[in-house]
Chains A and B, each alone.
Chain A
Amino acid sequence: MNKPTPAAVPAAFNRDIKTIVNAGLQRRHAAERRFRSYGLIAISLGLLFVVLMFANIIAKGYPAFWQTYVQVPISFDPAVIDPQGIRDPAAIESADYAALVRAGMRRMFPAVEGRTELRALYALVSSDATYELQRRIHQNPALIGSSQEIWLLASATVDTLVKGNIDRTLDETERSVKDNQIGWVDKLQATGKIEKQFNTILFSGGDSREPEQAGIRGALMGSFYTLLITFLLSFPIGVATAVYLEEFAPKNRWTDLIEVNINNLAAVPSIVFGLLGLAVFINFFSLPRSAPLVGGLVLSLMTLPVIIIAGRAALTSVPPSIREAALGMGASKLQMVGHHVLPLAMPGMLTGSIIGMARALGESAPLLMIGMVAFIVDVPKGIMDPATVLPVQIYLWSDLPERAFVERTSAAIMVLLAFMVLMNGLAIILRKRFERRW
């Protein structure tokens, strides 16, 4: 084959593409590298934020898992506890245990004199020390008359000082702990009378104004009851809706409307659900404020769209051949769904529900609206008791200025995040375990 003679080239094409491209290559590759690095920087920034936030919270929060105790020589003086000597339980209950604590403190530092000095000394231990003694006597009345070295809960300032979070170089007037108190604490530390123990109160106590006595048990139980209601309501309704829309509903305006509704509800700000709860459940149906029941109702309305959307996705992933096989065997549509489709879609639905529940667990804004922000000391015992939830407890504590509360807030966040990780982990395991490829 002959090489054909090239036709006359129009001026427009009379360019040497090789040289032209070559000339720009360096610049273009530099731009390429730059762009790529922007992307990498963006990702790194995002990941950096994750790390920073976790590091920040863990650094602030882990000391809260330890709590300072002071060993005080207590003599259970019968003259104070049981002056009449008749062991009347009511009298023993209401005895002046604070006097025993005070006496114990004086025994450790006999040199301290004067009202202000003594008051500062007594302030080293928490007011819970009194109840601690009361509890011990209640459990074992035989203690009356004996003398014992007892580990008493230190006050929050001492705890903070021992953890090194008070700047000793500051002027005395600018710190919450005075020079004489520092001296006593140092002396106690030197003699091993101060010790940090695992902070069980954090997990067993309800809320308190005193940081050293404050715990998250009330909030945890509140969260538990609230989520229980949320799950009991949103899971069946969500699954039923998903099944209806995916398997039974005719495609018409009504179902379109439902779909649009669900999609929009998923994007409505959570606080608006709180307004709904306040206006409908509390003002209209006069349900009690601050109750986990109302919180659960509100959160289930919020979680519903998540569960429905996940449920529909799980249902669509079941291949139609299974449905045809069931119908072909003479099953009714309901039997087909109940016996074949739903069991296959269930892991996906559960995964979606767990993720929805994890979100509900972290939700706080709507619960502020329905009064779950009250200061509640008692641990709730049912769905009608006033309660708060863990995230709201975090919100409440974060407002308090004491360093010891900052610590506990961070610790509460760590507990909350641990639950979130647990739930999401469960969802992932569930998905991996039951994942099917058709």
Chain B
Amino acid sequence: MSTTIIETKSALDTALRPAAEAGKQSSLEVTDYDNRQTVGAITVDHPKMVCRNVNVYYGAKQALRNVGIDIGANQVIAFIGPSGCGKSTFLRCLNRMNDTIVTCRVTGQLKLDDEDIYAPVIDVVQLRARIGMVFQKPNPFPKSIYENVAYGPRIHGMVNTKAELDELVRASLERAGLLKEVDKRMNDPGTSLSGGQQQRLCIARAIAVNPEVILMDEPCSALDPIATAKIEELIDELRENYTIVIVTHSMQQAARVSQRTAYFHLGDLIEVGETDQIFTNPKHKLTEDYITGRFG
């Protein structure tokens, strides 16, 4: 079933693309669109992360303006929006992956459990151990499946014995729903797996460090529909133990896996809300246009 949805969606995408590109430039002139104040509820009851007034610059260019949003504990929040809207940039602020880009500068407040993650006392090593990340393209290390998962625990010195490590690796693979498929070939290279399996391996790799938050940057964009469905199922299960932030291009995916959704547009956070509400009753004209496929 999901296959049909995605095919329809991509057909729609293709059909609308020229119009959408034209729209990107002209849309700014429409008065209604000039309102870039975030609408919707940005706060939640049990926030895991709290972000306020976040601005991101690449050199002189501002990539994000004044973003404020809460990320609820044990929830899945989806960031959606057209390409280049800053959703991935914002995601990479949450575990300070932007630090690796020399020209990138972040201002504002980003807190994880009441700790400012950009405070000088915070060590990125520790921060990234607490906030895991899964990337757009599966990127297993050129090592065995076992070693891929064992990498995090090893560098952080999380286990003392081989038996403990074995247990942790197996538990992580189990949680990522991969154990059954790879149980017999733990020593095969990680790259020998299929794309979907590789992505679940990357998720297992992230889980092995026992993070509190997992960031996912379009984790299914390089996968086929069946692998996508599996990952989506997995995300839903992982919610029990982790807080998950997912950036996605596919509105259907956001609708399927997330509890809350945030819509970004050209560097602004336009609307945040319960996923159902965003998709059925968007409050902002830009959100509505995006949802209804006027651009994307």
Cβ–Cβ contact A17 & B209, under 8 A: yes
| A10 touching B125 in the complex, CB below 8 Å, given contacts A1-B72, A20-B157 | no
List chain A residues, Cβ under 8 A from B44: 1
List chain B residues, Cβ under 8 A from A13: 168, 171, 207, 210, 241
Closest 10 CB pairs of A and B: A12-B171, A7-B240, A21-B126, A12-B168, A24-B157, A3-B46, A21-B129, A13-B210, A17-B210, A12-B167
Residues on B facing A (Cβ under 8 Å) = 44-46, 72-75, 123, 125-126, 129-130, 155-158, 164, 167-168, 170-172, 175, 207, 209-212, 239-241, 259-260, 274
Cβ–Cβ contact B241 & A7, under 8 A: yes
| A1 touching B75 in the complex, CB below 8 Å, given contacts A20-B156, A25-B125, A28-B125 | yes
What is the chain B residue whose CB lies nearest that of A10?
Answer: B171
Q: How far is the CB of B243 from chain A (nearest CB, A)?
A: 11
Cβ–Cβ contact A20 & B158, under 8 A: yes
Among B75, B211, B239, B241, the residue within 8 A (CB) of A17 is: B211
| Interface secondary structure of A, over-half rule | helix
Cβ–Cβ contact B75 & A21, under 8 A: no
A114 on the B face (CB < 8 A): no
A22 on the B face (CB < 8 A): yes
22 A-B pairs whose Cβ atoms sit less than 8 Å apart in the complex: A1-B44, A1-B75, A3-B74, A12-B167, A12-B170, A12-B171, A12-B172, A13-B168, A13-B171, A13-B210, A15-B158, A17-B156, A17-B209, A17-B210, A17-B212, A18-B126, A18-B130, A20-B157, A20-B158, A21-B156, A22-B126, A23-B157
Q: How large is the interface on A (under 10, 10 to 19, 20 to 34, 35 or more residues)?
A: 20 to 34
Q: Mark A337-376, 1 if CB is under 8 A from B, else 0.
A: 0000000000000000000000000000000000000000
List chain A residues, Cβ under 8 A from B156: 17, 20-21, 24
Cβ–Cβ contact B241 & A6, under 8 A: yes
Cβ–Cβ contact B75 & A11, under 8 A: no
What is the chain A residue whose CB lies nearest that of B74?
Answer: A4
Other 15 A-B pairs with CB < 8 A, given A12-B171, A13-B207? A4-B74, A4-B240, A7-B241, A12-B168, A13-B171, A17-B130, A20-B157, A21-B126, A22-B126, A23-B157, A24-B156, A25-B123, A25-B125, A28-B125, A29-B125
A15 to B72, CA, bound (A): 22
What is the chain A residue whose CB lies nearest that of B274?
Answer: A1
Q: How far is the CB of B74 from chain A (nearest CB, A)?
A: 5
List chain A residues, Cβ under 8 A from B130: 17-18, 21
List chain A residues, Cβ under 8 A from B175: 10
| A3 touching B45 in the complex, CB below 8 Å, given contacts A11-B167, A17-B130, A21-B126 | yes
List chain B residues, Cβ under 8 A from A12: 164, 167-168, 170-172
List chain B residues, Cβ under 8 A from A21: 125-126, 129-130, 156
A268 on the B face (CB < 8 A): no
A9 on the B face (CB < 8 A): yes
Cβ–Cβ contact A3 & B73, under 8 A: yes
Q: Mark A29-53, 1 if CB is under 8 A from B, else 0.
A: 1000000000000000000000000
List chain A residues, Cβ under 8 A from B241: 6-7, 9, 13
What is the chain A residue whose CB lies nearest that of B259?
Answer: A1
Cβ–Cβ contact A1 & B167, under 8 A: no
What is the chain A residue whose CB lies nearest that of B72?
Answer: A1
Cβ–Cβ contact B129 & A17, under 8 A: yes
What is the chain A residue whose CB lies nearest that of B167?
Answer: A12
Q: How far is the CB of A364 from chain B (nearest CB, A)?
A: 43
A7 to B237, CA, bound (A): 10
A4 to B76, CA, bound (A): 12
Which of A4, A15, A21, A25 has most B Cβ within 10 Å? A21
A264 to B123, CA, bound (A): 50
List chain A residues, Cβ under 8 A from B155: 28
Cβ–Cβ contact B167 & A25, under 8 A: no
Q: How far is the CB of B278 from chain A (nearest CB, A)?
A: 14
List chain A residues, Cβ under 8 A from B46: 3
List chain A residues, Cβ under 8 A from B126: 18, 21-22, 25
| A6 touching B158 in the complex, CB below 8 Å, given contacts A1-B44, A17-B129, A18-B126 | no
A10 to B170, CA, bound (A): 11
